[in-house]
Chain A
Amino acid sequence: MIEFRKDLFADERDDNLNEVGQPTRRQDILGHVTGRSPFFDDHQFDGLTHLKCVRSPHHRARIRHVDTSAAERMPGVHRVLTERDIPVNRNTLLALINFGKDDEPVLASGQVNYVGDPVVAVIADTERQARDACAAVRVDYEVLPHVLDPEEALLPDAPVVNETYPNNSFDYHEKYDHQKLRFGDVQSAFATADKIVEARYQMSPIEHAPTETNGCIAVAETNDRIACYTSTQALFFSLGTVAKVLDISTARLHFVGGTVGGGFGGKVDTVVEPLAILGCLLTGRPVRFVYDRQEEMQVSSPRGAERWYIKDGVMNDGRIVAREFRGYFDGGAYTRLSSYAVIKGTAHLPGPYTIPNVSSNVYGVYTNRTPASAMRGFGITGVDFAIECQMDRVAEAVGMDPVELRLLNAYRDGDMKAHRREAKNCALIECMQVAAEKSGWAISDEFKKLSSLSGGGGERAIIPHTVTDEHGKIGSSRAPGNTIPGSGYQPAAAPSLAAAASTTYTAAPAASPMPASAPAPTHAPVSSQPPATQAPPSRTPVRPGASSAPGGTVNADSATRPATPPPSAPASRPATSARPRNNNRFSSLFGTRRR
């Protein structure tokens, strides 16, 4: 079932260690398997009370009036909390590392922005009493238009999801409505590529589904302190967040975590602790706030949805010479950690391959859905799905074995990554070789001989002349007349995109069948997508009096920059072979050449 390939990289490893490398039994396993490990909910306190929330039934609505009087008179009710009780009712998780603006209330203030947005919290002797009292709270809503599709959210007429970010996208560097990655010149490389391969990928939200739902118990300690037994994955993160929104000293907070019944990233958000601790402060009673399964499924943040458009320029021999991304992280109604995923995802592009021209625009978008947050593989899982499906598409387009195509393009020690740091400690090639060998997936001898340790660097370490642009400044995509979501400028030759963007994605067929008998692709995009969902054919800004030709490149400062040198294989290079031969060395700048 499992083998350790100690033969690989053996000279980089000292295997004569005493304790490291031993299959030592876990310190805590006996407690786990005998049911004795204490979880937060195993702490029992006299007079324990229970907290439940009244939640929005609407995607987006103005709160006209909240009437809690009946709920306050219900049996067992100790306290009803509304936004007026929260000392600092605006926070963002990453404020603790000075990233982003405070945008999320603990309890809704004037407006709800997703189904499940908490409006009122009730503390009662039993969970049942708390639920009954929640049902007795009267909230008068004025239902407002909402937006659920991330690309629709970036259109000028889309409702504002989050007033802190009125453009429905996270602000990057106080300048752009997205994070840019620019390396080389993708447009020129597309023009000289043998084939263009384009596709659109999407991942729906995914639940962490921990056995133990998000929860905590807050209880008064001596010396005016509050202890909080919690399922958090990040003890001091949660402690700092609570101190901020409740405006109390961290010295008054004692957080106890430990054994967690499944996290997977879903217990970083600190959504239960602030209300439980506030309830404890206001009532003097121990307060337990635990999500039920329905809340865990639909209210606790999921792995957010992502949508990616990838366009590759590839030579007939399988070398990918240009790769362009447009990505949308659907953050839901509030930022939480999605802003971070955008940058982490950007750093990951173009995947573990050395591609000489890479460009991406990645957006953190607000929509009227449950705020998304971290989950196992955060920022990477969705785009890895897109990249690795795309690699198979590219392999098919050039008639190459998909494993060999990946090996040909794989990154190696010394290569320059698109985020401009040298690759080191690589092992992608070896993983592929081992997986292919053990599964009987035949690859040619030349690919069996490749190594992460050799063939990298040199020309592959050069940072190419890079075309930059200033498109997508904050607010530009929502400017009147803009019709390409997120682009910040008008299409040159896509007059139907406006209508398509507002209708296509919900109506698109669930599957994107690609005919198996498709003829060998030529320069035409290899794409199974309806035309309206393809990447815009041109991103040339419309200037008064300027004619913008389709396929033109975007280069706002082209007038001040020297002409871009050819980034990819010279046209004279014969592209007759679908597979490189022995002794060919991949060069990211000048194509394959003989050693």
Chain B
Amino acid sequence: MTMHSGRGFAAINYPIGMNLGGDPSQALVHSNPDGKFMVTLSSIDLGQGMKSVTRQIAAEALGIPVEDVYVDTADSDTGPHCMGSFASRGTHRVGNAVIAAATEARGVMLDAAAEELEVNPEDLETDGRGNIHVKGAPSRSITSAEACGAAQFKQGKTVSGRGIFLIPTSDVNPETGEMTPVSCFAHAALVVDIEVDDETGEVLVKDMQSAYEVGRALNPKLVEQQLIGGAWMGMSHALYETTEPHYPERDNGPVDFNEYLMPGPGNVVPHHISVLERPAPDAPFGGKGPGEMCANPVLPAMANAVYNAVGVRVDELPITPEKILRGIKANGGARPQGRPGQH
């Protein structure tokens, strides 16, 4: 038995939002008289942090502290229409709708503040800490709560806003495939280091080093959570998972987690992530959705690492010990390719 080291690389890009557009999302924003804002959506938080990201986007666009914003979502009686949480569309589509709604609500809030301060609304700015003041004269100020209270009880204004984001549906040319699929792309590159046991065919993942470009990390902790989890899923897809282990035959399909294999907590490997941020022009504060794409580079990088380790190309996922061993056998033994990138 020999353990062979292998290193593999892959790079990808990923389209953000529903392909061909035509997938609107709406947002409503309104304030109570105490300056607390509610963002109302029907989008679904799958655990990815949709509610938190839209909350931060709303606070930024309103110019008030995040503590003064709450996001309510996923009730068809109260939330305005949204296509749903898929296709990496949440941050991009819903985020843009929230910016539109929050911008309109901010305008009313500044109008109300201007009336109280007896200035032009164009001369006002927010400090992000709950105050609205005259540009260059911070002492001439009013809190956002006071402005919203005046709007409600003195001026008869609704501090509210409506937002929708829609990319019109693109046609597809039947002859050439010409189309406008999406408006922005996320990017990634990843190096994986593994060891392959030439007796059992098992792959031991040692380490991952990656660079993910996400437009803007709207919440760096949520980005980290997504990238770590997504890369783990990519590792799992590469080496373990399938509902049909003998595809296209359907026999021996797993029916529970005893049979459906996935790496356990002990298989979580060190993952050194670099986040790059090149803001997308039409994305909310430039942020692209990192959720889907982060798994994708791991699968081919793993296959390339296996080849590097033992000289076997496994072109059918998942890369099981059986496939690796059959390949080693067909080659008459393991054929390590040597560590790449050493010139």
Spot the interface stretch: A2-10, A185-193, A476-484, A564-572: A2-10
CB distance from B5 to the nearest CB of A (A): 13
Q: Does B158 contact A (CB under 8 A)?
A: no
Mark B256-275 against chain A: 1 for CB-CB distance below 8 A, else 0: 11001010000000111111
A376 touches B292 (CB 8 A): yes
Mark B269-296 against chain A: 1 for CB-CB distance below 8 A, else 0: 0111111111111000111000111011
Partner of A260, one of B45, B82, B169: B45
A468 touches B311 (CB 8 A): no
Contacts A268-B86, A434-B276; A19 near B128 (Cβ below 8 A): yes
Q: Which residues of chain B in 188-220 are interfacial with respect to chain A, using CB atoms and an 8 Å cutoff? A: 188-191, 209-213, 216-220
A26 touches B44 (CB 8 A): no
Q: In the complex, what residues of A have CB within 8 A of residue B271's CB? A: 1
Is the interface on chain A under 10, 10 to 19, 20 to 34, or 35 or more residues? 35 or more
What's the Cα separation between A444 and B13 when bound, in Å? 23
Mark B60-84 against chain A: 1 for CB-CB distance below 8 A, else 0: 1001011000110111110101111
CB distance from A79 to the nearest CB of B (A): 26
Q: Does A28 contact B (CB under 8 A)?
A: yes
Mark A233-253 against chain B: 1 for CB-CB distance below 8 A, else 0: 111110100000000000001
Spot the interface stretch: A117-125, A126-134, A381-389: A381-389
Contacts A377-B296, A514-B311; A431 near B176 (Cβ below 8 A): no
Q: In the complex, what residues of B have CB within 8 A of residue A4's CB? A: 217, 220, 274-275, 277
What's the Cα separation between A347 and B187 when bound, in Å? 16
Most buried by B among A97, A443, A516: A516
Contacts A206-B243, A401-B340; A28 near B176 (Cβ below 8 A): no
Spot the interface stretch: B30-38, B114-122, B136-144, B297-305: B297-305
CB distance from B185 to the nearest CB of A (A): 7
Q: In the complex, what residues of B have CB within 8 A of residue A389's CB? A: 300, 303-304, 313, 315
B313 touches A513 (CB 8 A): yes
A297 touches B317 (CB 8 A): no
B274 touches A262 (CB 8 A): no
Q: Does A553 contact B (CB under 8 A)?
A: no
CB distance from A175 to the nearest CB of B (A): 5
Contacts A21-B216, A201-B315, A297-B260; A254 near B274 (Cβ below 8 A): no
Partner of A234, one of B86, B220, B286, B316: B86
What's the Cα separation between A25 and B56 when bound, in Å? 10
What's the Cα separation between A423 and B157 when bound, in Å? 45
B277 touches A369 (CB 8 A): no
Most buried by B among A17, A32, A386, A431: A431
Partner of A376, one of B7, B83, B188, B291: B291
Q: Does B327 contact A (CB under 8 A)?
A: yes
A20 touches B60 (CB 8 A): yes
Residue of B nearest to A298 (CB): B253
CB distance from B328 to the nearest CB of A (A): 7
Q: Does B156 contact A (CB under 8 A)?
A: no
Partner of A207, one of B86, B172, B260, B330: B260
Q: In the complex, what residues of B have CB within 8 A of residue A434's CB? A: 189, 211, 274, 276
Q: Does A406 contact B (CB under 8 A)?
A: yes
Partner of A257, one of B44, B248, B270, B325: B44
Q: In the complex, what residues of B have CB within 8 A of residue A13's CB? A: 216, 277-279, 286
Mark B314-343 against chain A: 1 for CB-CB distance below 8 A, else 0: 111110101111111011000101001111
Q: Does B149 contact A (CB under 8 A)?
A: no
Residue of A nearest to B79 (CB): A235
A148 touches B187 (CB 8 A): no
Q: Which residues of chain B in 209-256 are interfacial with respect to chain A, using CB atoms and an 8 Å cutoff? A: 209-213, 216-222, 224, 227, 230, 233, 237, 241-245, 247-250, 253-256
Q: In the complex, what residues of A have CB within 8 A of residue B209's CB? A: 435, 438-439
What's the Cα separation between A380 and B182 when bound, in Å? 13
Q: Does B11 contact A (CB under 8 A)?
A: yes
Contacts A17-B60, A237-B84, A431-B276; A293 near B178 (Cβ below 8 A): no
Most buried by B among A180, A260, A427, A517: A427
Q: Does A357 contact B (CB under 8 A)?
A: no
Q: In the complex, what residues of B have CB within 8 A of residue A344's CB? A: 15, 19, 181
A209 touches B260 (CB 8 A): yes
What's the Cα separation between A402 and B10 when bound, in Å? 9
Q: Does B46 contact A (CB under 8 A)?
A: yes
Q: Does A346 contact B (CB under 8 A)?
A: yes
Q: In the complex, what residues of A have CB within 8 A of residue B299's CB? A: 381, 384-385, 388
CB distance from B303 to the nearest CB of A (A): 5
Q: In the complex, what residues of A have CB within 8 A of residue B250's CB? A: 59, 115, 148, 369
Partner of B275, one of A5, A232, A352, A444: A5
Q: Does B51 contact A (CB under 8 A)?
A: yes
Q: Does A420 contact B (CB under 8 A)?
A: yes
Residue of B nearest to A427 (CB): B213
Spot the interface stretch: A454-462, A502-510, A585-593: A502-510
Residues of A within 8 A of B (CB): 1-6, 8-9, 12-13, 17-28, 32, 59, 97, 115, 148-150, 172-173, 175-176, 179-183, 199-207, 209, 232-237, 239, 253-265, 268, 293-294, 297-298, 302, 305, 330, 340, 343-344, 346-348, 351-352, 360, 367, 369-370, 374, 376-382, 384-389, 391-393, 401-403, 406, 410-411, 418-421, 424-428, 430-432, 434-436, 438-444, 452, 466, 468, 470, 505-506, 509-517, 528
Residues of B within 8 A of A (CB): 7-15, 19-20, 22-23, 42-47, 49, 51-52, 55-57, 59-60, 63, 65-66, 70-71, 73-77, 79, 81-87, 128, 169, 172, 174-182, 184-185, 187-191, 209-213, 216-222, 224, 227, 230, 233, 237, 241-245, 247-250, 253-257, 260, 262, 270-281, 285-287, 291-293, 295-297, 299-301, 303-304, 307, 311-318, 320, 322-328, 330-331, 335, 337, 340-343
A-B pairs with lowest CB-CB distance, top 9: A234-B84, A388-B300, A441-B341, A516-B335, A18-B128, A181-B177, A347-B181, A511-B327, A516-B311
Given contacts A370-B243, A510-B322, 11 further A-B contacts (CB under 8 A): A4-B217, A27-B52, A150-B248, A204-B245, A232-B44, A351-B12, A424-B281, A428-B13, A435-B209, A438-B274, A514-B307
A-B contacts, 9 listed (Cβ < 8 Å): A20-B57, A150-B248, A172-B174, A376-B295, A377-B293, A381-B237, A385-B317, A386-B300, A435-B11
